[in-house]
Amino acid sequence: MSTLDAHEQHLAVLNRLVEVSLVLNSSLSIDRILTQLMDATTTILEAESASVILRDVNTHELHFLAMPTNSAHSEKLVRIPVPMEGSIAGSIIRESKPIVLNDVTQDPRHYRDADAKSGFQTRSLLGVPMRIKDRVVGALEAVNKIGDHWAENDQFYLEILASQAAIALENAQLVQKLQKANDELAQLDKLKSDFIAIASHELRTPLGVIMGYASFLKEEAKGELSDHATAVLNSALRMRDLIADMTNLRFLNLGESELMREAVSLAQLIDLAKGDTLSVIDTKGHQLSIEMPDEDLALDVDRAKILLAINNILNNAVKFTPTPFGKITVRCTTRTDEVWIQISDNGVGIPQKDLDDIFKAFYQVEDHMTRRHGGMGLGLAIAKSVIEAHGGRIWAESDGPDKGSTFIISLNCSKQEN
């Protein structure tokens, strides 16, 4: 071969190596990387076969991975244990040095059992260590050079392949670890959700009994006993709200596909929310005013879930507004193809630094131990999840402590056609 031909051939192999590098690094399955690596090794080095010997990270035992002889392109590899002492791969890995053998049968280190188990006859072998940083993780071997002896550049090409494969393998292993950690987290999360769902469901039945008997007692008892019954009933009602919060935890991370959308009139929605909260508003003696657009609108929403979000905000407005002189306003306005539902109060207000954080689950402005208001810190997180599943936005505004708060829900809308 002329020098020019040799140069051209060298260039062609280098181009092929770049291609192989891209293929190896775009794969995240370890077996796939190894089969692609062995394929590339046999074609580039003109060898009959190739094998990878990997060192187990825990036991440090070696495993010879080979393509089954009957299906050269299968992705399922045969794994055969190889001794660290008394094998060529063991020597490459221990000494971190390449080995070039044109006649394996003359080398006492050749591990003949691997041939027997894979059904392959090894004649010549070129092997290099596979390194990740300064760790030798295995060896890559080209087996049985077709025709002649191993060529001058073969070792150089094999070393490039081995280093590219080592990086691809490490990436794939890291992704697998990450995937496993993610799966474990998802399992834990499911366990937690199941526990909360079961616990909240089981708590509801005895609470119903407590509330029933406390109501009878309150009606029938007189004097101090009636006050005691009222105290039991009030506490039971608070507990019912907490259990409802727990039950609604399932709406955190709500997906769009979990919505049961239907056309709902805005006026009807606000009316329902008013009906749900009127008794607590009246009990606290707050004033409620509602401002609606002249023309009603149809919203394409999940009625029950949107109502839950609006109620959570309305209930907060009641809860965080001291009596007397509490004023709560629900103002609905339209802008292009959005409707804004603004719920304002003249209550305790929210410090600027907390305006975003209050939408996180379990976040409360007041310290948990000293807080005067009940609640688990879930209402706004659930409201945000519901609104965002609808493709809407929710945010809070406040001029600071004691300056009241406004919560704004923005939803897509279209004018009602009738």
Size of the site for ligand ADP (CB under 6 A): 21
Query: Are 414 and 266 a contacting pair, CB within 8 Å?
Result: no
CB nearer to ligand ADP: pick between 91 and 385: 385
Q: Binding ligand ADP by CB under 6 A: which of 20, 166, 378, 394?
A: 378
The least CB distance from residue 330 to ligand ADP, in Å, is 13
Identify the three-state secondary structure at position 21. Answer: helix
CB nearer to ligand ADP: pick between 180 and 403: 403
* Rg over CA atoms, the chain: 36
Cis amide prior to 324 (ω within 30 degrees): yes
**Interface with ligand ADP, residue 293, by CB under 6 A:** no
Of 63, 107, 116, residue with least CA distance to 125? 107
The least CB distance from residue 323 to ligand ADP, in Å, is 14
**Interface with ligand ADP, residue 377, by CB under 6 A:** yes
Q: Distance of alpha carbon 99 from its chain centroid, rounded?
A: 45
CB nearer to ligand ADP: pick between 113 and 397: 397
235 Cβ contact list (under 8 Å, min separation 6): none
**Interface with ligand ADP, residue 375, by CB under 6 A:** yes
The least CB distance from residue 363 to ligand ADP, in Å, is 6
**Interface with ligand ADP, residue 53, by CB under 6 A:** no
The least CB distance from residue 194 to ligand ADP, in Å, is 23
**Interface with ligand ADP, residue 308, by CB under 6 A:** no
The Cβ of residue 295 has, within 10 Å, a number of other Cβ atoms equal to 10
Identify the three-state secondary structure at position 51. Answer: strand
Q: What is the dihedral of CA 134, 140, 141, 147, to 10 degrees?
A: -110
**Interface with ligand ADP, residue 38, by CB under 6 A:** no
**Interface with ligand ADP, residue 405, by CB under 6 A:** yes
> Which is it for the CA torsion 29, 31, 32, 38, positive or negative?
positive
CB nearer to ligand ADP: pick between 184 and 402: 402
How far, in Å, CA of 400 to CA of 407, rounded? 14
**Interface with ligand ADP, residue 348, by CB under 6 A:** yes
Tell me the sheet residues that pair with 291.
331
Q: Binding ligand ADP by CB under 6 A: which of 91, 154, 320, 409?
A: 320
**Interface with ligand ADP, residue 342, by CB under 6 A:** no
Strands 62-66 and 262-265: unpaired
Q: Binding ligand ADP by CB under 6 A: which of 277, 316, 346, 385?
A: 316
The least CB distance from residue 403 to ligand ADP, in Å, is 10
Of 211, 326, 306, residue with least CA distance to 266? 306
How far, in Å, CA of 398 to CA of 28, rounded? 49
**Interface with ligand ADP, residue 341, by CB under 6 A:** no
CA 338 vs CA 148, 212, 231, 335, 417: distances in Å: 76, 44, 44, 5, 16
CB nearer to ligand ADP: pick between 90 and 375: 375
Find where tokens 């998802």 sit: 186
153: its two tokens: 């550049």
The least CB distance from residue 63 to ligand ADP, in Å, is 54
The least CB distance from residue 38 to ligand ADP, in Å, is 57
**Interface with ligand ADP, residue 42, by CB under 6 A:** no
**Interface with ligand ADP, residue 251, by CB under 6 A:** no
Burial 161-188 (b: 16+ CB within 10 A, else e): bbbbbbbbbebbbeeeeeeeeeeeeeee
CB nearer to ligand ADP: pick between 261 and 327: 327
**Interface with ligand ADP, residue 326, by CB under 6 A:** no
CB nearer to ligand ADP: pick between 98 and 377: 377
Q: Is 366 left (phi over 0), alpha (psi -120 to 50) or beta?
A: beta
Binding footprint of ligand ADP on the chain (CB under 6 A) = 312, 316-317, 320, 345, 347-348, 350, 358, 363-366, 375-381, 405
